[in-house]
Amino acid sequence: MVYRRVLTAIYPGSFDPITNGHLDVIGRAARLADRLVVGVLSNANKNPTFPLEERVEMTREAVRKYPNIEVTHFDGLLVEFAEREKAKIIVRGIRAISDYEFELQMALMNRRLRPDLETVFLMASEQYSFVSSRIIKEVARLGGEIGGLVPPHVEARLKAQFQRS
Ligand code: PNS
């Protein structure tokens, strides 16, 4: 019998909401891993704009075309989530050198907690190097154009959200 190991990677984040920058990294990771699990952080103390269910739903809709991607949520330690999903790799995106310091800190802490779990950094396409959920929300809240920076269903959700408030 031929045994083939399935390489599972996790891509964790707040996804508040998912952007085309995230999707760029997700597309790259989905080509490298057999199975990619996108983990939406449920941790309420980050005070997200969108509740967990909406963040998961928007993320799921955005990755619908990929057969090897699952979207779920997690709470607690990332390394424990990785263990539950039998993942060997944590994927994180790097946009600019300013991301590096925090990412290095997280990667080294996660390595200390689970030495056999590797963090792999993927460079987002330069066209999204300035895109973050935070800046997208700020522009959307002030009525600016965000088309092309988030998927259309997220754009609609952002507009609805900020019309309400
Ligand atoms: O999209 P974000 O907000 O940059 O993602 C941050 C995330 C979810 C990767 C990080 O906050 C995280 O891993 N939280 C889980 C708690 C944890 O394990 N903390 C210790 C890691 S150093």
Quote the percentage of the chain above a pLDDT of 70: 98
Ligand 1 contacts CB of residue 13 (under 6 A)? yes
Note whether residue 108 is domain-resident. yes
* Mean of per-residue pLDDT scores for the chain: 95
Q: Give catalytic residues, as residue numbers.
A: 22, 46, 95, 133
Residue showing tokens 């600016």:
144
State the distance from the centre of ligand 1 to the C-alpha of 72, rounded, in angstroms: 15
> By C-alpha distance, which of 17, 2, 114, 28 is closest to 56?
17
Cβ atoms within 10 Å, residue 11: 28
Q: Residue 24's domain is classified under what CATH number? A: 3.40.50.620
Q: Could you give the CA distance from residue 25 to residue 123 in angstroms, rounded to a whole number?
A: 7
Q: Which of 9-18, 49-58, 144-153, 156-165 has the lowest mean pLDDT?
A: 156-165
Residue 108 · residue 115 · CB < 8 Å:
no
Q: Which protein residue's CA is at the shortest distance from atom 22 of ligand 1?
A: 106
Quote the percentage of the chain above a pLDDT of 90: 90
Q: How many residues does the chain have?
A: 165
- Count of the separate structural domains present in the chain: 1
Note whether residue 88 is domain-resident. yes
What's the start-to-end Cα distance of the chain, in Å? 59
Note whether residue 69 is domain-resident. yes
Q: Which domain holds residue 43?
A: 8-164
pTM score of the predicted model: 0.96
The atom of ligand 1 lying closest to the CA of 133 is 1
Span 126-147, pLDDT tens digits: 999 999 999 999 999 999 999 9
DSSP secondary structure code for residue 25 in this structure: H
